[in-house]
Structure 1
């Protein structure tokens, strides 16, 4: 008897067991799968450039090397720009530490006078918080080390994936039945389009947000506005959550370097406006591809990605789910799950029509029995 003919509790148990097994394997093989996932997405992004070079009679190996060199040089230019800003930030670090220390002392005294919590008890609470956060720090360090391993393995994986592209595609066609070749072709085509439009859109969005952040912070007189604005734009690549985290950096810098709270208020207002422009103008017109993931599922998969693969999982979660949605939309039994991931909200009339059809189907089955 097929699984779909079994009672619901058996189906649910089977699906749950399969998900647990899948998550376990993904977690155990994270050091191998994370670089492969990044390499797969970047290979899809570089593939059009390689094809254009090969159309101009450039040998395949040389075309791949040229495309990879362009990508590496672009990344190095970004890191060089950020490093120059970080050097300037390092020169003022002693002064910032002194000012931050005085602010911390004033805050402790205020807490003692307002809530009656002694300085010794506050110090103990801070120590306890630091001790409890050691696990989180260790996880963060593991994520950083994982990112470094990704950086060193990426060029090798990208080169090999682009070189063996036809072999991989041929395998995907042959592993499925011949009558499904059309669906496989549609899935691969839409997956390529979704990944390319998503990554290119993210890069364009990041540049625009970096310019807006930096301009706003410089107008408000926040020190190192360009560096903090660029870091905020990079954090903004993490859907929904990154933009919220990015606000804390300029607010903290304004608190340390300026008196009063008018600058902090201006930073919060400016970032709210920028986030509104980003979420309502930039993301729908630049980032969004043919596959739309609703906000609820985006937040859930980002948090799950962070729990599974750390920082890398947060960046990979959205394109990964976009690919899953493409597959779900092409398989009849999985279409409801694809709709759950999407942002097409059915109207009340559509729900009533679906309920009436469902009711009619149940009645017809009962009458036939």
Structure 2
């Protein structure tokens, strides 16, 4: 058994390039795993820098210097952020508060429907099951109310932390864009010079991360805006809140769309019952999801995502379980990193095997 392990280790890690790549990956993994909460503002700034880099590069084609382009793009970003913070977010929060205040009335309507199920379907549903389901719904809604109240009371306590984010993130974003090459060159000084394999993986993953972040943010905006327009046209209550929820559901491929179906169907039933309007709502939501999966995603991620759906779901579950929100957000780029590493490793092994054959 020991000989087999030694033979496997020599075959896969005899090349110094492979060892260097493994060390860099382990160091990055441990750094993020242990300091993820402390470095959260840095991660936010890096994501925003990736998002805005293509705008800066587009601006540079107009013969302006990078410093001027960064100033223009950064000013535009701050303007949009202020517009969202002062205009859209308060409306969403207001709808969320109204939803929580009306939760008891909604629960009573749901309770009436649930209590009628045992008489309509006695062979499938019992009274005990209905009571347990209703109790579970009550606990969930009560927990939601507690979350909203706790956030409201703790907002003053978190004001200092929020202020730090509002100052540090824009500041780091500006310098990440302005001094991008200086920062990258400084980081490269601390890496081994024999890193051809690591550079090859980084070039591929770097392009994939940039394409993915830009595509994902654009997908969130398009899906959320289109959902809000459709829900408003159908006069669905809490259209803005539900539209935002549908937009952010695309962060979790396949799973997010299925989960968000529940609140949309529940709100439609509470407002209209099982009426024609409810059916049209679900048809419209199904069309939105179909257009997103079959039209929008292939257009936005044709170059960024080349992974099997099973690999994507496993990546979301695995990295989301390790790093929470950021693990879910970067699940596909991280899966792409794993794929790039495996591909590069196989190329090294193949070249080593060919050299061994030629030497023999």
TM-score (norm: length of structure 2): 0.68
Task: Give 1:283 deviation, angstroms.
Answer: 0.8
CA contact (8 A) 2:305 2:332 kept: no
CA contact (8 A) 1:214 1:228 kept: yes
Task: Give 1:232 deviation, angstroms.
Answer: 0.7
Could you say which structure has the greater relative contact order, defined with CA pairs below 8 angstroms and 6 or more residues apart?
2
Provide the residue aligned with 1:180 in structure 2. Answer: 196
CA contact (8 A) 1:298 1:318 kept: yes
Provide the residue aligned with 1:154 in structure 2. Answer: 169
Rounded to whole Å, the distance in 1 between the matches of 2:253 and 2:295 is 15
Aligned residue among 230, 255, 259 for 2:273:
259
Aligned residue among 33, 36, 43 for 1:30:
36
CA contact (8 A) 1:291 1:326 kept: no
Task: Give 1:172 deviation, angstroms.
Answer: 5.7
**What are the Cα deviations for residues 184-223 of structure 1, in whole angstroms up to 9, with x where unaligned?**
2x55544443233222222332333234323433444422
Rounded to whole Å, the distance in 2 between the matches of 1:267 and 1:253 is 10
**What are the Cα deviations for residues 158-188 of structure 1, in whole angstroms up to 9, with x where unaligned?**
234334422343256553436839x72x555
Aligned residue among 54, 64, 75 for 1:69:
75
Aligned residue among 204, 214, 219 for 1:205:
219
Aligned counterparts, 1:1-369, within 5 A: 6-7=6-7, 26-50=32-56, 52=59, 56=63, 60=67, 63-83=69-89, 85-86=91-92, 89=95, 93=99, 96-107=102-113, 109-110=115-116, 115-117=126-128, 122=132, 126=136, 153-171=168-186, 175-177=191-193, 180=196, 184=199, 187-332=201-346
CA contact (8 A) 1:201 1:287 kept: yes
**What are the Cα deviations for residues 46-77 of structure 1, in whole angstroms up to 9, with x where unaligned?**
334445459755573x6545433322322333
**What are the Cα deviations for residues 101-131 of structure 1, in whole angstroms up to 9, with x where unaligned?**
3224325644787624299x7499649977x
- Structure 2 CA distance for partners of 1:94 and 1:39, relative to 1, 3 Å: closer
Rounded to whole Å, the distance in 1 between the matches of 2:224 and 2:133 is 38
Q: Which moved more, 1:70-79 or 1:167-176?
A: 167-176
Task: Give 1:314 deviation, angstroms.
Answer: 0.9
TM-score (norm: length of structure 1): 0.66
CA contact (8 A) 1:44 1:192 kept: no
Rounded to whole Å, the distance in 1 between the matches of 2:62 and 2:312 is 38
Which blocks of at least 5 consecutive residues in structure 2 are unaligned? 13-18, 120-124
The count of aligned residue pairs is 322
Partner SS for 1:6: helix
- Structure 2 CA distance for partners of 1:39 and 1:84, relative to 1, 3 Å: closer
- Structure 2 CA distance for partners of 1:123 and 1:115, relative to 1, 3 Å: closer
Rounded to whole Å, the distance in 2 between the matches of 1:127 and 1:93 is 15
Rounded to whole Å, the distance in 2 between the matches of 1:111 and 1:293 is 43
Task: Give 1:31 deviation, angstroms.
Answer: 0.7
Rounded to whole Å, the distance in 1 between the matches of 2:257 and 2:44 is 22
CA contact (8 A) 2:230 2:284 kept: yes
Partner SS for 1:72: helix
**What are the Cα deviations for residues 275-297 of structure 1, in whole angstroms up to 9, with x where unaligned?**
22211211111233255222111
CA contact (8 A) 1:205 1:282 kept: yes
Task: Give 1:79 deviation, angstroms.
Answer: 4.2
